[in-house]
Amino acid sequence: MFLIGLNYWSKSGGPLMWRFFNEEIVDKELAQIRELGVDVIRAFIYWPDFQREPGRVDEEMLRRLGRFLDLAHKHDVGVYLTFIVGHMSGENWDPQWRGGRDFFELRNEVKVLIETIVSRFRGHPAIRGWILSNELPIYATSSEDKVTDWIREMSSLVKSLDGGHWVTTGDGCWGIMGAFNGFNPYRYKDYVDYMGPHFYTPDTDAVRHTVMPQLIIKACRGLGKPTILEEFGASSTLGSDEHIAGYYRTVLMGSLISGAVGAWGWCYSDFPLINQRPYSHHPHELRFGVTTVDWRVKPQGDELTRFSRLISTLGDVEPVEDPVAVLFPSYVYWSYPFTSRDDARKISTALLSSYVMLVQNGLNPRVIIEEPLTDGVIIEEGRSKISGDVKVLFLPCALRYLAQTQEEIRRFVEKGGVAVISYCYGFWMNIDWAIKLDLYYNYPILSDGLNTTVDNVNINVPAMGYTYDRAIAKVNGGDVLLKDSAGNPVIVYSNVGSGRVYFITYPLEYWLGLSPKPFENHDAHLLYNLILRREGIGALTPSKWVQVARLKSSKYSYVAYINHGWSDVKINVSGVNVETGEKVRGEYVLRGKDYLIVRE
Domains of the chain: 3-202+228-314 (3.20.20.80), 324-534 (3.40.50.880), 546-599 (2.60.40.1180)
**Residue 283 pLDDT:** 96
Asked whether residue 339 carries a pLDDT value surpassing 90, the answer given is: no
Mean pLDDT of 528-536: 96
Residue among 300, 299, 290 nearest 251 (CA): 300
pLDDT digit string, tens, across residues 430-441: 777 789 888 898
pLDDT of residue 341: 84
Write the pLDDT tens digit of every residue in 467-505: 999 999 999 999 999 999 999 999 999 999 999 999 999
The pLDDT tens digits for 299-315 are: 999 999 999 999 999 99
Segment 23-46 mean pLDDT: 98
- What pLDDT score was predicted for residue 375? 73
Task: Over range 39-64, report the average pLDDT.
Answer: 97
Q: State residue 384's pLDDT score.
A: 65
Tell me the mean pLDDT in the region 183-201: 97
Chain centre to alpha carbon of residue 141: 22
How many Å apart are CA 344 and CA 587, to the nearest integer? 43
Question: Which of the four pLDDT bands, split at 50, 70 and 90, describes residue 340?
Answer: confident
Instruction: State pLDDT tens for residues 401-415.
Output: 999 899 899 999 999
pLDDT at 530 over 70: yes
Q: Is a pLDDT exceeding 60 seen at residue 449?
A: yes
Mean pLDDT of 555-577: 96
- At residue 378, the pLDDT reads 66
User: Which residues face 131 on adjacent strands?
Assistant: 82, 168
Residue 367 has pLDDT above 80, yes or no: yes
**pLDDT, averaged across the chain:** 95
SS3 state at 364: coil
- Residue 156 pairs in a beta bridge with none
Q: What is the mean pLDDT of residues 180-205?
A: 96
Amino acid, res. 52? R
What's the count of helices (H) and strands (E) in the chain, helices before strands?
15, 29
User: 382 pLDDT exceeds 60?
Assistant: no
Residue 498 is given by DSSP the state: T
DSSP string, 417-435: -EEEEE--TT-------S-
Q: Give the Cα-Cα-Cα angle 596, 597, 599 (nearest 5 degrees).
A: 145
Percent of the chain with pLDDT over 90: 89
Four-CA torsion 569, 572, 578, 579, nearest 10 degrees: 30
Tens-digit pLDDT profile for residues 312-337: 999 999 999 999 999 999 999 998 99
Instruction: Determine the average pLDDT of the residues in 1-27.
Output: 97
Where does the pLDDT of residue 383 fall: very low under 50, low under 70, confident under 90, or very high at 90 and above? low
What SS3 class is residue 168?
strand
pLDDT tens by residue, 412-431: 999 999 999 999 998 888 77
- Among the ranges given (37-51, 102-116, 434-448), the one the predictor scored with the smallest mean pLDDT: 434-448
Q: Whose CA is closest to 265, among 6, 2, 4?
A: 6
- Look at residue 381 in the predicted model and tell me its pLDDT: 59
Q: Would the pLDDT of 512 be above 90?
A: yes
Residue 46 pLDDT exceeds 60:
yes
| pLDDT at 24 exceeding the cut of 90 | yes
Does residue 2 carry a pLDDT above 60? yes
Q: What confidence tier does 582 reach under pLDDT thresholds 50, 70, 90?
A: very high
Percent of the chain with pLDDT over 70: 98
